[in-house]
């Protein structure tokens, strides 16, 4: 697909006036969907070179927004403040979204999401509320999906699952095509964090489009599937998917490790496999990007840069080992990747979603249901559970039916994964 995009870009590249055409903007957006074409696009579009007629001052809002999305992915043009541009555009939209500009709204929200802007979730929620029946169902589904993933990454796990599943219900998988990777990953990660293993498995049974492997949306899917593997005891499967994320981002020239912290995620998988040397190498590579922070810490203390670096490495490795099986591990990794390192403690990531919301998915069970679920999770059969709790086998079966329904699972194997 990206070869076709590259071939379509070439004839328009030498004509600055063509870059205001709908076709050019569509090709830029298609390049963001299929990043194999991004290198060629940025070569053809050297912003700031007057001889190409591409100075930022001369560009329309639509042209700037499409380039802003490219910049959010690749950090190619330092002079283009895509975050402020996207935020200003969304803040000035206070009425129902007219038909035909949904792509601009989507583009602006995606810029904030990819840039790690804290306003992304609020902007996505506001945009979704301004949608009406006149907006095409496809755009309503895509904006709902954006709202879901923004909410999930903002810590609203329940909202992320609710809106992600709503987005998936709005269109058949074939209509989602390669973009289905985003809502699928959202509901898989969210259901995993809520302990609903069965619901996560259900969504993973959806067969994505064959084109998805070439698309940037495959990063979401591989990221979500990798965390599912970690949470269900398949570290080798997790490592395979996280490392493939890293290879694709390197190949595509995408600067998105704050969204997809593949090195730290893969390091957790390698620790579980007992391959500590590889885990250390990956953590060191992730820390090298934070050299300024580490040097600043060294200047504040009597420690050398090497000592501070080693302390940060040990703190992260300890955190990965401690939390790699946590249902909300993807949010812990996000904190590790984006928040300042707390060099004063070796467990600076211990304030997790589960500690703010202690095992919320089990709190829906009654005391009796929890007792039955605990024994069943340990492998006991219904007859043994009935004897241990002095209840009838029929009562055990009723409790298990309620447990399965509340936790979104379908059998004892999935219950054992949850109850640990």
Which domains are assigned to the chain? 271-344 (no CATH), 360-419 (1.10.10.10)
Reported as a single tens digit per residue, the pLDDT across 118-177 is 899 999 999 998 888 889 999 999 999 999 999 999 888 989 999 999 999 999 999 999
Going by C-alpha positions, the residue among 263, 259, 253, 258 that lies closest to residue 2 is: 253
Alpha carbon distance 59, 71 (integer Å): 15
> Do 176 and 141 form a contact (C-beta atoms < 8 A)?
yes
Reported as a single tens digit per residue, the pLDDT across 184-232 is 999 999 999 888 888 898 899 888 888 898 899 999 999 999 999 998 8
Residue-by-residue DSSP string for 163-222: HHHHHHHHS-HHHHGGGGHHHHHHHHHHHHHTT-HHHHHHHHTS---GGGGGSTHHHHHH
DSSP code of residue 52: G
Q: Residue 51 — very low, low, confident or very high, per pLDDT cuts 50/70/90?
A: very low
Name the residue with higher pLDDT: 202 or 11: 202
Tokens of 155: 């810590």
CB atoms within 10 A of CB 250: 10
Sign of CA dihedral 388, 389, 391, 397: negative
Alpha carbon distance 63, 354 (integer Å): 43
Distances from the Cα of 248 to the Cα of 72, 219, 237, 238, 242, angstroms: 16, 8, 17, 16, 10
Going by C-alpha positions, the residue among 410, 416, 412, 408 that lies closest to residue 158 is: 408
Alpha carbon distance 254, 219 (integer Å): 11
> Is the pLDDT score of 46 beyond 70?
no
Tokens of 129: 């509320």
Q: Burial of 337 by CB count in 10 Å (0-12 exposed, 13-18 middle, 19+ buried)?
A: buried
Tokens of 112: 């904030």
Sign of CA dihedral 80, 86, 87, 93: positive
Distances from the Cα of 305 to the Cα of 287, 292, 293, 311, 319, angstroms: 12, 10, 10, 10, 21
Name the residue with higher pLDDT: 133 or 360: 133
Please give the span between the terminal C-alpha atoms of the chain, in angstroms, as a whole number.
44
Alpha carbon distance 325, 370 (integer Å): 21
Going by C-alpha positions, the residue among 253, 246, 230 that lies closest to residue 281 is: 246
Any idea of the CA torsion for 268, 269, 274, 276, to the nearest 10 degrees? -50
Q: Residue 1 — very low, low, confident or very high, per pLDDT cuts 50/70/90?
A: low
Tally of residues, the chain: 420
> Do 187 and 164 form a contact (C-beta atoms < 8 A)?
yes
The dihedrals phi and psi of 394, each to the nearest 5 degrees, come to: -60, -40
Alpha carbon distance 164, 202 (integer Å): 14
Q: Which of 147-151, 376-380, 404-408 has the highest mean pLDDT?
A: 147-151
Alpha carbon distance 312, 344 (integer Å): 10
Name the residue with higher pLDDT: 350 or 400: 400
Alpha carbon distance 176, 129 (integer Å): 21
Question: Please, which residues have CB within 8 angstroms of residue 186's CB and are 6 or more apart in sequence?
Answer: 145, 148, 149, 152, 160, 161, 164, 220, 224
């Amino acid at each position: 697909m990206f070869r076709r995009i590259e071939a379509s870009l070439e004839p328009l590249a030498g004509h600055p006036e063509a870059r205001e055409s709908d076709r050019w903007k569509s090709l830029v957006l298609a390049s963001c969907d299929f990043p194999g074409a991004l290198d060629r696009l940025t070569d053809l579009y050297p912003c700031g070179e007057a001889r190409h007629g591409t100075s930022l001052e001369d560009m329309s809002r639509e042209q700037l927004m499409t380039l802003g999305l490219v910049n959010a992915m690749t950090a190619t043009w330092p002079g283009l403040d895509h975050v402020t541009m996207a935020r200003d555009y969304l803040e000035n939209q206070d009425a129902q979204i007219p038909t035909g500009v949904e792509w601009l709204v989507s583009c602006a929200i995606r810029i904030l999401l990819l840039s790690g802007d804290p306003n992304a979730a609020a902007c996505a929620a506001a945009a979704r509320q301004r949608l009406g029946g006149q907006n095409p169902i496809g755009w309503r589904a895509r904006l709902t999906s954006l709202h879901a993933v923004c909410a999930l990454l903002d810590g609203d796990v329940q909202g992320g699952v609710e809106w992600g599943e709503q987005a998936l219900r709005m269109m058949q998988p074939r209509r989602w095509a390669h973009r289905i990777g985003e809502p699928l990953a959202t509901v898989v990660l969210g259901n995993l964090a809520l302990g609903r293993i069965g619901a996560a498995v259900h969504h993973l049974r959806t067969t994505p489009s064959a084109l998805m492997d070439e698309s940037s949306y495959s990063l979401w899917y591989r990221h979500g599937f990798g965390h599912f593997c970690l949470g269900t005891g398949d570290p080798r499967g997790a490592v395979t998917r996280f490392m493939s994320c890293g290879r694709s981002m390197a190949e595509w020239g995408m600067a998105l490790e704050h969204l997809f912290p593949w090195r730290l995620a893969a390091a957790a998988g390698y620790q579980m496999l007992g391959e500590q040397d590889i885990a250390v190498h990956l953590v060191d590579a992730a820390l090298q990007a934070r050299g300024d922070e580490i040097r600043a810490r060294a200047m504040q203390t009597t420690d050398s840069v090497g000592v501070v670096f080693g302390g940060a490495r040990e703190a992260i490795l300890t955190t990965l080992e401690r939390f790699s099986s946590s249902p909300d591990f993807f949010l812990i990794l996000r904190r590790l990747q984006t928040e300042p390192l707390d060099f004063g403690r070796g467990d600076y990531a211990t304030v997790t979603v589960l500690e703010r919301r202690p095992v919320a998915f089990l709190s829906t069970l009654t005391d009796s249901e929890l007792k039955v679920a605990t024994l069943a999770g340990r492998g006991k059969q219904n007859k043994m559970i009935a004897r241990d709790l002095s209840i009838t086998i029929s009562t055990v079966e009723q409790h298990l039916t309620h447990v399965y329904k509340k936790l979104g699972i379908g059998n004892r194997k999935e219950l054992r994964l949850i109850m640990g």
